[in-house]
Amino acid sequence: MRKIMIAGNWKMNKTIAESIELVKGIKESGKVQVLVAPVFTALSAVCEARGDRKICVAAQNMHYEESGAFTGEISPLMVKDTGAKHVILGHSERRHIFKEDDALIKEKVLSAIAHGLKVILCIGEQLEEREAEKTNEVLDVQLTEGLKGITPDQMEDVIIAYEPVWAIGTGKVATPEQAQEAHAFCRRKIAELFGEDVAEKVRILYGGSLKPDNADGLLSQKDIDGGLIGGASLKADSFNAIIDAAERL
């Protein structure tokens, strides 16, 4: 009943011309929701280049204010202006490299939803936290704090991405069992925060070294509703192969 989403986070890769070429090579799917997140400068061009194909477009980040003295930032109005309807928030690279904390991420989530954007909220533990058996604690805090002030109805516009930081860009993928366990925990936490109905409906994507050759095992898990893919989303062939895997489920 939850529609699978296969989302490509292109991170800081691809010029406008390269982004157009890549989106043109990505297949649309009737069964799976396909999404790409190019760099800000390529958002409008990618929205245009996808034409009427069913490919959603997301920004990779956003400031919570509509305008003002925030040099280098992009507002929700500006994201919407490009034609993008989704925004990724709280990515681990934003949290750890750019020191975004849960309080800031929460403001962004609230603002995105107030402006009619759909949010992909990323959460995930670092290696030391997993080794110290603190994974659930970290996910609990990131969900509770990042979604503070959101109503159960607004959760319709929220997708969660569980991305264990130790698996991002490392080739060290979580096993299907490890991922399923974390996803099940997140769903239980969402039930606690927003009720069972919301928890049953909310999509939880897995991210971290997801590739065509490990997609089947991960995507077939009960609480894994798709993937947020970095490296393997930068080539149409490998991204399409993951879409194919999701279509076979």
- Under rule CB under 6 A, residue 163 binds ligand 13P: yes
Residue that is written with structure tokens 């997708």 in the block: 159
Return the number of the residue (143 or 198) whose C-beta is nearest ligand 13P: 143
Report the 3 state secondary structure along the chain: CCCCEEEEECCCCCCHHHHHHHHHHCCCCCCCEEEEECCHHHHHHHHHHCCCCCEEEEECCCCCCCCCCCCCCCCHHHHHHCCCCEEEECCHHHHHCCCCCHHHHHHHHHHHHHCCCEEEEEECCCHHHHHCCCHHHHHHHHHHHHCCCCCCHHHHHEEEEECCHHHCCCCCCCCHHHHHHHHHHHHHHHHHHHCHHHHHHCCEEEECCCCHHHHHHHHCCCCCCEEEECHHHCCHHHHHHHHHHHHCC
Q: Residues in contact with ligand 13P, total (CB under 6 A)?
A: 14
Is 183 one of the catalytic residues? no
| Least Å from the CB of residue 224 to ligand 13P | 14
- Under rule CB under 6 A, residue 210 binds ligand 13P: yes
Q: Exactly one of 100, 125, 129, 163 is catalytic; which is it?
A: 163
- Under rule CB under 6 A, residue 168 binds ligand 13P: yes
Stated as kind and residue range, the H or E segment containing 206 is: strand 204-207
- Under rule CB under 6 A, residue 228 binds ligand 13P: yes
| One character per residue 179-208, x = contact with ligand 13P (rule: CB under 6 A) | ----------------------------xx
Report d(CA 219, CA 246) in Å as an integer.
7
Triad 232, 57, 122: Cα angle to 5°: 65
| Least Å from the CB of residue 207 to ligand 13P | 4
Return the number of the residue (42 or 168) whose C-beta is nearest ligand 13P: 168
Footprint of ligand 13P on residues 4-23 (CB under 6 A)? 9
Is 63 one of the catalytic residues? no
- Under rule CB under 6 A, residue 231 binds ligand 13P: yes
| Least Å from the CB of residue 223 to ligand 13P | 18
Footprint of ligand 13P on residues 26-65 (CB under 6 A)? none
Footprint of ligand 13P on residues 69-98 (CB under 6 A)? 91
| Least Å from the CB of residue 151 to ligand 13P | 26
Return the number of the residue (79 or 232) whose C-beta is nearest ligand 13P: 232
Nearest residue by C-beta to ligand 13P? 230
Contact 107, 76 (CB under 8 A): no
Catalytic residues: 91, 163
Binding site for ligand 13P (CB under 6 A): 9, 91, 163, 168-169, 207-210, 228-232
